[in-house]
Structure 1
Amino acid sequence: AYHEAQALQPKHITKGFDGRNWITLVRQKTDREVSVPLLPQAEKLIAWFRELNSTDDYIQPRISNQKVNSYLREIADVVGIDKKLTHHTARKTFATTILLYNDVPIEVVSKLLGHSDISVTQRSYAQVLNKNISNHIGRLEKVLNK
């Protein structure tokens, strides 16, 4: 979420049991701890931000949610995306396009998003889950027809 992204500090990045870097923080909305392993792309972005702002206590530049959304709209215009992009849209896109469409289990998606209960995730992403179910049944159908 925007507030967690803006509050992210180097102290929130720790080496996990698996040798990866993880973000570990308490979500403001649910007051629950959430741990998210960092993908290499995220690590590169963090390193880039730290290089630009080596004296800042925060990982990302401290800008308002409105300004972030304004930048996202500019990017959408430049690359020809005809959709209103926001920080929250980016969060939902990560959950669907990156996680669910790549067969990450809903339980893992729920944990990564910091939802208080898996039913929140299921309600929010029901149409994605149905599409995923349809894709899996389509693959099963092909296998069974051979």
Structure 2
Amino acid sequence: MLQLYKNDILFTSKKSIFPIYLRNIFISKCKLAPKVKSGKKGQDKKDTENITESSEKAHVFNIYNTVEKDHEILPDYAYPKWLWKLEKPLKSYGELALMFLYGKDIENATAEDYHRFRRLHNKNLIKLNNLRLKKSKRSTVKPIFWDL
């Protein structure tokens, strides 16, 4: 019986004894990208030399080249107050925790300090809870959250 099926499959061209239809698959030819010519972006070497020379003249990288004299430095009172706050480093989470959790130097606290503390505190609570809920219980809480 098996031999009969083999003969039927091998010697029949399009008909099959099984109720599966034959499908014809047409595959288009693979098209490759065009080959890159010698030089930069398909240009000859002679053309690239001319372009680089002209582009060097067009680009000005020193924006202060056209200014005759340097800008005048003004006294400190001429600049806004918020500009001087930028040079001071922000308080760390440890300093803010001492301030708002333990009351150390709370008299000098500002609203910006409190908002920064709440943001950092919530971020650290999320990290601690994620460590606590991890499947592997091997991880321990590292003291990176408290930088006192």
* TM-score interval, smaller chain: under 0.3
Name the structure where helix makes up a greater proportion of residues: 1
The two structures have a TM-score, normalised by structure 1, of 0.26
Structure whose alpha-carbon radius of gyration is higher:
2
Name the structure where strand makes up a greater proportion of residues: 1
Higher relative contact order (CA 8 A, sep 6+): 1
The two structures have a TM-score, normalised by structure 2, of 0.26
